[in-house]
Amino acid sequence: MPQQVNGVIAPGRNEPVRVETITIPDPGPGEAVVAVQACGVCHTDLHYKQGGINDEFPFLLGHEAAGVVESVGEGVTEVAPGDFVILNWRAVCGRCRACRRGRPWYCFDTHNAKQKMTLADGTELSPALGIGAFAEKTLVAAGQCTKVDPAVSPAVAGLLGCGVMAGIGAAVNTGEVGRGDTVAVIGCGGVGDAAVVGARLAGAAKIIAVDIDDRKLETARAMGATHTVNSRSTDAVEAVRELTDGFGADVVIEAVGRPETYAQAFYARDLAGTVVLVGVPTPDMKLELPLLDVFGRGGSLKSSWYGDCLPSRDFPMLIDLHQQGRIDLGAFVTETIGLGDVEKAFARMHEGDVLRSVVVL
């Protein structure tokens, strides 16, 4: 029987979000209905609301979530009712060329639930990143569910569904930070701080946090940064060079998504260093660099999409590390809120007051 539950809808471009009754169909083949327990508020949700992603309003927002599988459709073997799962927005196919070549994070045939969730009047909803988890229940593809240890708090587990995984993965998977490396992280919001945590986990010797806001630098230090640079008052490139015996960092992670900060990352790296772009630029942004500077430096320029993660490998591993006290994912949860507070959470996010507001159900 289709079910009626509450969900947070973005009705139209820049209109305030609101809680509405939505209809969740029974899971079809390959699908699962998940009772959401927690869902973090991410920038991408705000971008959906602002019309920055596409115009397929109304959106059902929320995509950084954990919950319990309630029911599954025909042919589902990945998960069963009662499983505690983290949702991911890149369920890979396992068959395409990227998947077969062992790089599933580049899969070009990712999938979501085929059926649609709707408003009470039958209007089809577009779930944010194919998830839509600011809701008591949501419909996803079974491949979007990764089973993890149910002993962990849902608010913490959900964070791995997007921003925290993106940041940790940028350091560990994409940047391949190694023991003894020097690492600089430019932009220390939730994603940058997670990159700091990842760099520390990977054994980096120096972790230099760069931001324009002293409050963010303080948090980055608490997360494991060994040095901090306020790039409003200090030249970031010079500062990183000075802290690395004049060489530049082995890995520089850009977690802002702007041309200026990308250029800083480019010049703050060691000649053989790696730049990882995890901040998401907007379509109008252009980067201009002297080609001779590109030629004159070795190393590599990489981008990291969702932390180049493999949910089935990385989610349970990071939950284990958290449960063992080797990383503290709880430090990313600034506040827990209700479904009706998402609009307020967007405002706080905009002011830079929170790492993560997490809707708890």
Q: Residues in the site for Zn ion, rule: CB under 5 A?
A: 42, 44, 92-93, 96, 99, 107, 109, 162
If the CB atoms of residues 148 and 188 are measured against ligand APR, the closer one turns out to be 188
Secondary structure of the chain as H, E, C letters: CCEEEEEEEECCCCCCCEEEEEEECCCCCCEEEEEEEEEECCHHHHHHHCCCCCCCCCEECCCCEEEEEEEECCCCCCCCCCCEEEECCCECCCCCHHHHCCCHHHCCCCECCCCCCEECCCCECEEHHHCCCCECEEEEEHHHEEECCCCCCHHHHHHCCCHHHHHHHHHHHHCCCCCCCEEEEECCCHHHHHHHHHHHHCCCCEEEEEECCHHHHHHHHHHCCCEEEECCCCCHHHHHHHHCCCCCEEEEEECCCCHHHHHHHHHHEEEEEEEEECCCCCCCCCCCCCHHHHHCCCCEEEECCHHHCCHHHHHHHHHHHHHCCCCCHHHHCCEEECHHHHHHHHHHHHCCCCCCEEEEC
Using CB distances below 5 to 8 A depending on partner kind, what does residue 99 bind out of ligand APR, Zn ion, none?
Zn ion
Min. distance of Cβ 112 from Zn ion in angstroms? 14
Min. distance of Cβ 304 from ligand APR in angstroms? 9
If the CB atoms of residues 110 and 219 are measured against ligand APR, the closer one turns out to be 219
Using CB distances below 5 to 8 A depending on partner kind, what does residue 216 bind out of ligand APR, Zn ion, none?
ligand APR
Using CB distances below 5 to 8 A depending on partner kind, what does residue 327 bind out of ligand APR, Zn ion, none?
none
Min. distance of Cβ 141 from Zn ion in angstroms? 13
If the CB atoms of residues 106 and 247 are measured against Zn ion, the closer one turns out to be 106
Using CB distances below 5 to 8 A depending on partner kind, what does residue 280 bind out of ligand APR, Zn ion, none?
ligand APR
Using CB distances below 5 to 8 A depending on partner kind, what does residue 244 bind out of Zn ion, ligand APR, none?
none
Min. distance of Cβ 5 from ligand APR in angstroms? 27
Positions touching ligand APR (CB under 6 A) are 43, 163, 166, 186-192, 210-213, 216, 231, 255-257, 260-261, 278-280, 352
If the CB atoms of residues 266 and 306 are measured against Zn ion, the closer one turns out to be 306
Using CB distances below 5 to 8 A depending on partner kind, what does residue 213 bind out of Zn ion, ligand APR, none?
ligand APR
